[in-house]
Structure 1
């Protein structure tokens, strides 16, 4: 596993995950970095609009006050330093406190996660996310086509997680992929009392659990496990969380029902899943990210 910083929750995020820079990005992807840089410079005084992970980041930063810094957000971006100026200004204009940033001008930035001691990396770049996951960091590719977070819960950071290959290892998922549903249910029933190994997002859930203890009336955390598991395979998931001494506020065992409509009701600021079909479907209702680990992404 990666190196995770003390009690402070550290989130590294790319500029495209935090702000809506899709128009600028089309110019960047066209292979004309000079034109892209010129456009960013031209728009220096024009704050970028909120992007898919904006609500999550803004709410997490609300845990900070004058006496303690419980959350730090760092921009980790393939942008150039000139474009970085606009990102910092956009943060200021949107009341997002950004102090640190690493801008690598087209090169992969994931190596800087270790010295940053990041608990989470959010990026729109699939390769960077895969590299970060392989290095042991919780990371997800933000679907920039997702709908933005709802506004019904201004005082709660709401985060939803898939189970297997996200919070838990993909040990059980491997059985399912290889031998089918009956074998999976049998495997999980026989191992119900044996905790599942941790998955890539266990360290993030643990960090959120610590942050939850610092909840104030101004901001609280609400987590949900949203899984295709159903009874009797639910028991191992619940017992695993009990063994870790980590609580989730809601658990949905959907037995293969589409997750999107349940997520629409929960209204998370972000949802993490390892299967593209679940993420694509969720993105129609909520901000969603793809965790490209485990057997389904092999």
Structure 2
């Protein structure tokens, strides 16, 4: 019987999202891929430092045990196959059981998301992320300058999401941008009992919810909704999650306050937001990624 990824949480990730290849990437941008390949080959036995999404990936893989393989992580990289050897060796060094990867030497790898049945795609390449989102995949561009995740929660995968244009569609955000805050608040109050449509990351949140329910006693998932909404617009967001039969552990309705300091206290392994300003605010404290979705990115 052929191997299958059915029923697994599948994360597809680029080498620069998983490992810190910023020094090598600078060489690539300044010269050509031959010099980059040569440097990677020279460093073949030097494990790359952990990157922005390393903590989240390591913890998700810890949901696998002798009873079940619940999570699959695959490398999707514009790297060449020679440089891919260092990626796999670095994963092996850190004890990450990553065995699948596609290395496309400069070509966009997002087209392999479909056969992987990926629930999430993380990359440092905005073009690849936009293409993935347009095909219906949850995808984010990692902010490579992000602070790395805290190590105080080794048995919890902590993931935080913005609401509008991330978990939810951008219906309400369009009202806000076209008519202002008062109109937005009234619109959401009037539609409090009408669930918002799904945004690009709703399937990922649902998959994490299933993983939490099916997971192991030694690992758990803690999720947070971190949104600029405030009361009374909070109610529609909460009722939408209830309608989806999905729970989050924390919800922060910040009324336009900077998100970074709140995320610093939550200490997520990753935070997803559609607005670059919020991503930069978060990245000063935690791993963060930009979801190029919705009216704010039109």
TM-score, length of structure 1 as denominator length: 0.98
Which residue in the other structure is 1:285 paired with?
Answer: 285
Per-residue CA deviation, residues 261-281 of structure 1 (Å, 9 max, x unaligned), is 000000000000000000001
Report deviation, 1:105: 0.3
Instruction: Return the alpha-carbon distance in structure 2 between the equivalents of residues 265 and 6 of structure 1.
Output: 36
Pairing 1:265–2:265 present? yes
Which residue in the other structure is 1:244 paired with?
Answer: 244
SS at match of 2:242: helix
Report deviation, 1:216: 2.5
Instruction: Return the alpha-carbon distance in structure 1 between the equivalents of residues 125 and 94 of structure 2.
Output: 23
Report deviation, 1:28: 1.3
Which residue in the other structure is 1:39 paired with?
Answer: 39
Instruction: Return the alpha-carbon distance in structure 2 between the equivalents of residues 184 and 221 of structure 1.
Output: 32
Instruction: Return the alpha-carbon distance in structure 1 between the equivalents of residues 136 and 159 of structure 2.
Output: 21
Instruction: Return the alpha-carbon distance in structure 1 between the equivalents of residues 6 and 228 of structure 2.
Output: 33
TM-score, length of structure 2 as denominator length: 0.98
Q: Give the gaps of 5 or more residues in structure 1.
A: none
- Structure 1 residues 76-91: aligned runs within 5 Å: 76-91=76-91
SS at match of 1:213: helix
Which residue in the other structure is 1:191 paired with?
Answer: 191
Per-residue CA deviation, residues 222-272 of structure 1 (Å, 9 max, x unaligned), is 000000000000000000000000000000000001100000000000000
Per-residue CA deviation, residues 105-129 of structure 1 (Å, 9 max, x unaligned), is 0011111101110000000001100
Report deviation, 1:27: 1.1
- Structure 1 residues 7-156: aligned runs within 5 Å: 7-156=7-156
Structure 1 vs Structure 2 CA RMSD: 0.8
Q: Do the aligned partners of 1:155 and 1:217 also contact (CA within 8 Å) in 2?
A: no
Report deviation, 1:25: 0.5
Report deviation, 1:157: 0.1
Q: Do the aligned partners of 1:7 and 1:210 also contact (CA within 8 Å) in 2?
A: no
SS at match of 2:101: strand
